[in-house]
Structure 1
Amino acid sequence: MTQIAGGWSEFNYDVSAEAEAVLKEAFGNLVGVKYTANAVATQVVAGTNYCFLCTGTGTQLPGPQFPALVYVFKPLSGPAQLSEIKRINP
């Protein structure tokens, strides 16, 4: 399947080291929850938008894991920026 210009790719469940690095850079020193990427979709704009399908786990207080979509923007130059975190309700 071909990707539509400006559209999102399909989710890839083989998350590359490059995508993992973008996610890590976007979170910086975030504390309280650890997000583990299970899949990633991308959208090429003036840079790249990433949508990570993640499993969130509390780091301060033990609790249940939860699914979430984590959106990150990586500009052509400069650091990755966390755009939004959406918790997915079952």
Structure 2
Amino acid sequence: METQDLVVGGWTKYHALTPEDQKVFDQAMEGFVGVKYNPQEVSTQLVNGTNYRFRCEATMPPADVVWEAIVEIYAPIDGQPHVVSIHRI
């Protein structure tokens, strides 16, 4: 892990998802219907918990239209991760 990854309050560079990142994404998106978000990479920020910015490919079946979106998720130290916002880019 690089030193910059440990800076409290600073965002990491976007990087490939770890299994833990994927678990946080899946927990936060559980029950979400409509648009399907497929995370491609993630940036994190250590706060009182962890903020995540997942860069995703988004699709809305049955259409073949694909766009990019940022899904922001907050994972508290104790508790369930949840979606804070979703921005189409």
Whether TM exceeds 0.5 here: the answer is: yes
Contact 2:8 2:47 in 1 (8 A): no
Structure 2 unaligned segments of length 5 or more: list them.
none
Q: Return the TM-score normalized by structure 1.
A: 0.88
| Matched residue count | 86
Deviates further, 2-11 or 16-25: 2-11
Question: Which TM-score applies when normalising by structure 2?
Answer: 0.89
Q: Structure 1 segments of 4 or more deviating over 6 A?
A: none
2:56 counterpart residue number = 54
Amino acid at match of 2:66: Q
Aligned partner of 2:10 in structure 1 is 7
| 1:40-51 to 2 correspondences below 5 Å | 40-51=42-53
Partner of 1:16: 18
Structure 2 equivalent of residue 72 of structure 1: 73
3-state DSSP of counterpart to 1:43: strand
| Aligned AA (1:21) | K
Letter in 1 for 2:11: W
What is the identity percentage for the equivalent residue pairs of Structure 1 and Structure 2? Answer: 36
Q: CA RMSD in A?
A: 1.3
Name the one with the larger helix percent: 2
- Displacement after TM superposition at 1:79 (Å): 0.3
CA distance in 2, matches of 1:15, 1:36: 11
